[in-house]
Structure 1
Amino acid sequence: MKFADIPGHSDIKRDLAQMVDSGRLPHALLLEGPEGCGKFALARALAQYIQCDNRHDGDSCGICQACRQHQAHQFIDTLYSFPVAKKNSRPTISDDFRQEFNTFMDQNPFMDFDRWPAMLDNTNAQPKFYVEEGNELIRRLSYTAHSARYKSVLMWLPERMNEDTANKMLKIVEEPYPDTLFIMTSDNPREILPTIYSRVQRIKVHRYSDAEVAAYISNVTSLDPAAAMRVAVLAQGSINRALALSAIHDDTDKYLEWFKSLMRNAYKRDVRALKAWSVEVAAEKREGILRFLAYCSRMIRENFINNLHDPRLNVMTDRENEFSIRFSPFINEKNATDLFQTINDAATDIAANANAKIVLFDITITVILLLIKK
């Protein structure tokens, strides 16, 4: 990956390139910032820039052997370290899931963590670093670099280490082997153990502007500029969230009809219609159901805000706005939080392979009770 492949962050790209060119690259660097802002993409581009044979104009060439190997995730002196799920009862390390991680990087260059457990084929366990990961890194970093001056470790989400693992990592971060570089990226730097956090040089990566997100979405999806900007405003600077919302946008009309049917039948307490509704929605694939639930969360938010009577705060289509004119008074401070929680809990259950019909019908009963709180 080249710096040019990443939208925005021109100042950070320039600073990283200057660190390398001036020989002032720290042995441990942390790129920290909100999810979806391109931190790991920057880390990958930096690793490629370090090893590129023909750097120019503040970027790697993209065509030399080192660049091609990086782009194929095959550069032998660049190691990847990331949280994983336990594999049976034996010690588990990143290399056990290296092929899955390569695919994940290709499909999700902005590293949407919510998609990672599914790649591990384990949606019930929270991925983390195990102590064995520290032992494996110590072993591999003790070897001399094969084809480059530096051995680089790209570490994704070090906040997912427990104390025992962090103590193992601390040893090699505090007293690194010669010509070893750690490039870490974190969504939640406050959760990194202080012993690690205090020993890295930190660079803050800020969230994208709405204009940057909209431009990116316009380039990689079929959305027109106006629709891309609506998505960007809702995404709040996260490319990952914008891509998820773009997928929803293609099915907006269908999701709106489902949302209207849910709310109208819940208001009428038509249990038979709600049961039929849950069967219809459950027929969708799991990803489709999750996108619909994300759409429900957005519509609850938009209708709650609509009560403030300030159009500048709302981002809805004309058809959504037409429905919300009459519906928004039913979403208020008495039930909005509980409605959000109900939808989020359902999404968690669906992601964990719970029975969709049961989960969706449970939503309908809860919505009946919550709409009473007008």
Structure 2
Amino acid sequence: MRFQDIPGLETTKNQLIEAVKGNHVAHAQLFVGAEGSANLAMALAFSTYLNCEAPTDSDACGTCPSCVKNSKYIHPDVNFIFPSAATPKFKREDATSDKFLVEWRSFLAQTPYGNVADWSNHFGWENKLLMIPRQESRNIVRALSLKSFEGKYKVMIIWQPELMNANAANGILKILEEPPENTIFLLVSNDSNKLLTTILSRAQQLRVPSFDDEDVKSVLTEKSELSSDEIDQIAYRANGNLRKALSEIDGGSNDANDYFKDWMRQCFTFNFENLIKQADDFQKRGKEFQVGLMGVASNYMRETLLTGVDATNISRLPAQEKGFIDKFASVFVPEKIAKISPQFDEAQYHIERNANPKILFLDLSLSIAQIARAKS
């Protein structure tokens, strides 16, 4: 992975390159980005640039032995730690990253924009809970106690450190604060709020922005034969999440938008029987869809607020969605949106913490119906 393989985000790329040029590379860096962002891809590209034997002013050369090995994720000085689960062969505590490197490299070669669920499905863990076990802290200390084999830097990439066992997280604090010479930690997180404050205080944070719509469209244009209207729609629904956009062109489900529209219609007409059926269906859809639906809802709330004001520079609304938003805005005026929006955020919070989705959905639906039907 090189910087040129990542669409857009030139400011972030330049920031990392300038740090290397100025010899100001922090020994522990935290790449924070939303799901579907380039945080993992950026860490991989940065790792390649660090040990490139002939780097240019804008990227690694891509042809030296170090770059060739990094392109296959087999560089001996680049170590990976990632969540895993027990298998018939390995118990929970013994299921460490080094046991699954072949599958991990295959996963990265497929896409560096996947999430934990994608990694779980790729290996075949399905619905198992993935985490980074306690033993990994010992493996990290052991791996970094050795000198680098051939590169200038020894790199430790930890993907999803928020899923580390508490003992594992505490076990790396000392080496994270005082690593061996020319050792770089690259932590890649989707939610830094779930990390221990002792880890946050030891790492320099780099916020990796989500992709612009134009960057998403360029990738979709290159990888599909969809029409420009279809690409515009997918980019809008993805909202900077390249993983979501790519899953749609690969045949993934994209019905959250239609589901939301129907849900709001049922709330407004207060069709209680249909709302109960929809709550049953919502429960069956799974956590990923449930969380995604709350994100779609927040998106529509934002676009509705921008209706009626001159916000062409910040609105992402494609022409195909304008009709629905205009009708939606006639009912959900700003005062009502101010009451509803926090409820979507709260619902997402509870879904992520395994609240009963049917009860939560029905309660939220009744609350929305009450607000929608109230006189402005």
Whether TM exceeds 0.5 here: the answer is yes
Q: Cα offset for 1:135?
A: 0.6
Partners in 2 of 1:250 and 1:280 — Cα distance? 18
What is aligned with 2:180?
Answer: 177
Partners in 1 of 2:328 and 2:55 — Cα distance? 58
1:160-203 CA deviation, whole Å, 9 max, x = no partner? 55764344213223443354332334455576555545555555
Matched, 1:28 2:27: yes
The letter of the residue matching 2:245 is: L
- Closer, same or farther in 2 for the Cα pair 1:319/1:180, shift >3 Å? closer
Partners in 2 of 1:361 and 1:229 — Cα distance? 32
Conserved in 1, the CA contact under 8 Å of 2:33 and 2:209?
yes
Q: Cα offset for 1:79?
A: 0.4
Conserved in 1, the CA contact under 8 Å of 2:32 and 2:205?
no
Partners in 1 of 2:253 and 2:202 — Cα distance? 47
What is aligned with 1:68?
Answer: 68
What is aligned with 1:326?
Answer: 327
Give percent identity, aligned residues only: 24
The letter of the residue matching 1:30 is: Q
Matched, 1:138 2:145: no
Structure 1 segments unaligned to the other structure (5+ residues): none
What is aligned with 1:45?
Answer: 45
The aligned runs of 1:13-24 (5 Å cut-off) are: 13-14=13-14, 16-17=16-17, 24=23
The letter of the residue matching 1:71 is: S
What is aligned with 1:243?
Answer: 245
1:1-48 CA deviation, whole Å, 9 max, x = no partner? 1121122344554554465567x3647141544435523222212222
Conserved in 2, the CA contact under 8 Å of 1:27 and 1:180?
no
The letter of the residue matching 2:344 is: F
Q: Cα offset for 1:132?
A: 1.9
Partners in 2 of 1:199 and 1:342 — Cα distance? 30
Partners in 1 of 2:217 and 2:56 — Cα distance? 29
Conserved in 1, the CA contact under 8 Å of 2:79 and 2:157?
yes
Q: Cα offset for 1:230?
A: 7.0
The letter of the residue matching 1:243 is: A
- Closer, same or farther in 2 for the Cα pair 1:261/1:103, shift >3 Å? same
What is aligned with 2:340?
Answer: 336
What is aligned with 1:94?
Answer: 97
- Closer, same or farther in 2 for the Cα pair 1:164/1:247, shift >3 Å? same
Q: Cα offset for 1:225?
A: 5.8
The letter of the residue matching 1:136 is: N
Match of 1:151 among 131, 149, 154: 154
1:295-315 CA deviation, whole Å, 9 max, x = no partner? 455334434554x55563654
Q: Cα offset for 1:361?
A: 7.2
TM-score by length of 2: 0.69
What is aligned with 2:81?
Answer: 81
Conserved in 2, the CA contact under 8 Å of 1:304 and 1:336?
no
Q: Secondary structure at the match of 2:61?
A: coil
- Closer, same or farther in 2 for the Cα pair 1:100/1:338, shift >3 Å? farther
Q: Cα offset for 1:134?
A: 1.2
Conserved in 2, the CA contact under 8 Å of 1:33 and 1:204?
yes
What is aligned with 1:7?
Answer: 7
Q: Cα offset for 1:139?
A: 1.7
Which of 76-85 and 8-17 deviates more? 8-17
Partners in 1 of 2:65 and 2:194 — Cα distance? 38
TM-score by length of 1: 0.70
The aligned runs of 1:288-299 (5 Å cut-off) are: 294-299=295-300
Conserved in 2, the CA contact under 8 Å of 1:217 and 1:242?
no
Q: Secondary structure at the match of 2:184?
A: strand
Q: Cα offset for 1:137?
A: 1.0
- Closer, same or farther in 2 for the Cα pair 1:241/1:270, shift >3 Å? same
The aligned runs of 1:305-324 (5 Å cut-off) are: 305-306=306-307, 310=310, 312=312, 314-318=315-319, 320-324=321-325
Q: Cα offset for 1:291?
A: 5.8
- Closer, same or farther in 2 for the Cα pair 1:341/1:18, shift >3 Å? closer
1:123-177 CA deviation, whole Å, 9 max, x = no partner? 574x554432211111222334445454321123445557643442132234433
1:271-314 CA deviation, whole Å, 9 max, x = no partner? 555567678889989877776665455334434554x5556365
Q: Secondary structure at the match of 1:42?
A: helix
Partners in 1 of 2:234 and 2:45 — Cα distance? 27
Aligned residue pairs, count: 366
Structure 2 segments unaligned to the other structure (5+ residues): none
What is aligned with 1:105?
Answer: 108
Conserved in 1, the CA contact under 8 Å of 2:153 and 2:184?
yes
**Aligned-CA RMSD value:** 4.9
